[in-house]
Chain A
Amino acid sequence: MEPDRGAPPPETGPELGGQTPAGAAPAVWRSRLTPRQLVRWETGLAVVVIAIGILGASTSSQFLTGSNMLNLGLQSGEIAIMALPMTLIIISGEIDLSVASIMGMSSALLGYLFGKGWPLLAIFAVLLLVGVVAGAINGLLVTRVGLPSLAVTIGTLGLYRGVAFIVLGPHTIANFPVAYTNIGIFGVLNTNLSFSAAVFIVLAVIFGVVLHFTPVGRSIYAMGASPEAAIFAGIRVKRVKTMLFIVSGVTCAMAGALLTFRLSTAVNTNGIGLELDVVAIVLLGGVSIFGGKGTIVGVVLGVLAFAGISNALLLTNFNQEAASIPIGGLLLISVFVPQMAAFSGRLRDVIARRRRSAPALGAGHE
């Protein structure tokens, strides 16, 4: 992941790696969020979400209507779903950049097998299996071979997307049964909640419970905060991380099916480039890229901020793709806020040093 994080440096180069003690953790690591600051970030984010709601409603009368809420859920449902396993993976100190490619691979396979006349139930079973295998490849390369997840999942990002290209080629499959493609038009049970958003809510509860209220969840924090300590505490770090990658694979394969039915189209580029959106949402939600910190509530708020900004800009006829500017800005704020205390401390140091080295100047002013 981010090279500066506190995980034990991977053994790069013939430098007799593995002998570097965990004490090599960089300075950034020590000046991390305290729980209080973390709460503050999520409260701040909640305020931002409300502000987006008010701004959106004041610029467009359609923003808070039910049909627009349906649209909002439709637009962002699948990305939001993929953000949940990503949250757990980043908290555990790893990253998975292959999520959008797994989604694309699943979508392409769905189209291909459907075109071959397979029954949908059998196809779902295959997608599930593909998700497990894709995640297991990531997980095993990271945990058993000991490779950095950033590099591994950039590789599988190409590999899985490549499988989508090979499977589907230039074809477009579009004749899915209406009963399924309806999830791209109607809400669940005649409400304005899109199917993907409903799936997201259910999964968010499950992931939230697992992360915050079970031993497995606590072990995820532990291995993210200090991998060595987690091992010494008897946590099966490798096994849990492999499981997380598999869960991510399965979830993304499922999101791929949802995306395919919503668009009622399977093409080899489905979901391309979404991986960075997913990472952005998770980081926006206050999850530390160094691992060990973050909450599902924060990520849900991150999803709302992301979806709200994109949707509000769409309604105001602003170029919707330029939504990346406020999202990028928020991301910067999210990473700078926890650093503020340390930053002002450094600034004070610098000023103090200036004073000492130039006392005459300081005295002159007084």
Chain B
Amino acid sequence: MSTTLAPPREPSGAPADVSSRRLTERVFRVRESGIIVVLALFVLITALIQPRFVSSSNIQFILVNTSVYALVALGETMVIISRNVDLSVQSVLALSAYLSTSLFGHVHGIPIPVVFLVGLGIGLACGVANGLMVSLGRVPSLVVTLATLYIIQGIDILVVGGNEVVASSLPAGFVAIPNVAVLGIPWLAVAIAAVIGAGAYYLRSFRSGRELYAIGSNPDGARLAGIPVARRVFTAFTLCGGIAGVAGVLWASQYQTINTSAGGNNFSLIVIAAVVVGGVAIFGGSGSAVGAAIGALLLETISSALNVLGISDFWDQAIAGFLLLVAITLDRLITIRLAAALRTRSARDGT
């Protein structure tokens, strides 16, 4: 699961006892292990206090609520791994949510998959715009996507105006998407887990996926190594946009009232927080899509746990923010420790 592109510091001619040491090292090296432990502890403690927390309906609720965030986090992960950032996902999501679902009102009996394709198309278009500017213009993605966040949001406001898509205009099959469950597991969560799995596999095992890590670790080095940096970064932004577009349609199926505030005020920053909590380095080069999804799951689990424990929602934000700080601080401390340990070892083995 660890997809850090760390230089393999395995000493040549490893001594015999190295294999056991390697195993523990591997466990520690998996960046996600920390957050999985936190998640498990959190679920365990909450369940001990309030068993209702692990009831099938509550688990279902958590999984469905995580879905949209985890999905967008996949796209954001690809972008962040390449040492970029996409702040515009929230306005892409809002625009796609409105435009695609307003088709239900305009075109009678339009098939649901077509609506998803429209959402995908809108997202891809936004992603292509971001990708072209960042990769060809070689301008900082933080600024470009801040600008497109504004522009797409403005377009959304102009298009939507005071209108909104209401639940009654949505077909029953569409509204049911988040609720269809088999054996207590919502299909939506399964489908999204599959997509994230595929994304993680792509990042981990495909050449073009691995190259995103290389670009994020050292953009100049990647260029010198012959990696088509511009093309890879462009692809990452395009995928991220497309994913945000699809997520917009899913968001609509879940919340069913779609106006300009779809997705909420801080959606992009919440997604980035989930990605970073999930162990993806904000400056690129390491982390995994699975970690980002677990990060999203953790944030949602916390908010649900507070709810179940009867603590007011108002504590949500503070705890999520605090957790993000703890996550990055711990990651940093572990990194320093590990680097020191590896350095002493390679120094010892080198002599």
Instruction: List A residues at the B interface (Cβ < 8 Å).
Output: 1-5, 9-18, 20, 24, 26-28, 97, 141, 145-148, 150-152, 154-163, 165-166, 169-170, 268, 272-273, 276, 279-280, 283, 289-290, 319, 321-325, 327-329, 331-332, 334-336, 339, 342-343, 346
A313 to chain B, nearest CB (A): 10
Q: Are A155 and B29 in contact (CB under 8 A)?
A: no
Closest to A95 in B: B142
Q: Are A16 and B343 in contact (CB under 8 A)?
A: yes
Given the contacts A165-B318, A319-B157, A336-B139, A12 and B335 also touching, CB distance less than 8 Å: yes
- How many A-B pairs have beta carbons closer than 8 Å: the answer is 232
Complex Cα spacing A5 to B283, Å: 10
B156 to chain A, nearest CB (A): 9
Residues of B within 8 A of A166 (CB): 314-315, 318
Residues of A within 8 A of B141 (CB): 2-4
Q: Are B9 and A324 in contact (CB under 8 A)?
A: no
Q: Are B147 and A329 in contact (CB under 8 A)?
A: yes
Q: Are A331 and B150 in contact (CB under 8 A)?
A: yes
24 contacts between A and B (CB under 8 A): A3-B142, A4-B83, A9-B283, A15-B5, A27-B138, A28-B140, A145-B329, A148-B328, A150-B282, A151-B324, A156-B325, A157-B321, A158-B269, A158-B273, A160-B321, A162-B317, A165-B317, A166-B315, A283-B146, A321-B260, A324-B151, A325-B150, A328-B154, A335-B147
Given the contacts A15-B4, A26-B219, A10 and B281 also touching, CB distance less than 8 Å: yes
Given the contacts A12-B286, A166-B318, A336-B139, A328 and B150 also touching, CB distance less than 8 Å: yes
Complex Cα spacing A329 to B146, Å: 10
Q: Are A13 and B285 in contact (CB under 8 A)?
A: yes
Instruction: List B residues at the A interface (Cβ < 8 Å).
Output: 4-7, 9, 29, 31, 80, 83-85, 87, 133, 137-144, 146-151, 153-155, 157-158, 161, 216-221, 223, 260, 265-266, 269, 272-273, 276, 281-286, 312-322, 324-325, 328-329, 332, 335-336, 338-339, 342-343
Complex Cα spacing A16 to B276, Å: 20
Which residue of the partner chain, among A4, A28, A324, contacts B157 with CB atoms under 8 Å? A324
The 4 closest A-B pairs by CB, nearest first: A162-B318, A158-B321, A328-B150, A159-B321
A265 to chain B, nearest CB (A): 18
Residues of A within 8 A of B84 (CB): 3-4
Given the contacts A151-B282, A154-B276, A162-B317, A2 and B142 also touching, CB distance less than 8 Å: yes
Closest to B88 in A: A328
Which residue of the partner chain, among B154, B217, B285, B314, contacts A325 with CB atoms under 8 Å? B154
Which residue of the partner chain, among A16, A162, A169, contacts B339 with CB atoms under 8 Å? A16
Not counting A17-B335, A319-B161, a sample of 11 additional A-B residue pairs whose C-beta atoms are within 8 angstroms of each other reads A3-B216, A4-B140, A12-B281, A155-B325, A155-B328, A165-B318, A166-B315, A272-B265, A276-B150, A321-B154, A322-B157
A contact face: mostly helix, strand, loop, or mixed? helix
Which residue of the partner chain, among A3, A158, A329, A339, contacts B138 with CB atoms under 8 Å? A339
Q: Are A324 and B150 in contact (CB under 8 A)?
A: yes
A121 to chain B, nearest CB (A): 28
Residues of A within 8 A of B4 (CB): 13-15
Q: Are B332 and A165 in contact (CB under 8 A)?
A: no
Closest to A169 in B: B314
Q: Indicate the member of B4, B318, B342 with the most A CB atoms within 10 Å.
A: B318
Residues of A within 8 A of B220 (CB): 24, 26-27
Complex Cα spacing A28 to B266, Å: 29
Complex Cα spacing A14 to B2, Å: 11
Complex Cα spacing A268 to B317, Å: 12
B182 to chain A, nearest CB (A): 35
Closest to B133 in A: A332
Which residue of the partner chain, among B221, B320, B328, contacts A151 with CB atoms under 8 Å? B328
Residues of A within 8 A of B9 (CB): 16
Residues of A within 8 A of B273 (CB): 154-155, 158
Closest to A170 in B: B314
Q: Are B282 and A331 in contact (CB under 8 A)?
A: no
A322 to chain B, nearest CB (A): 5
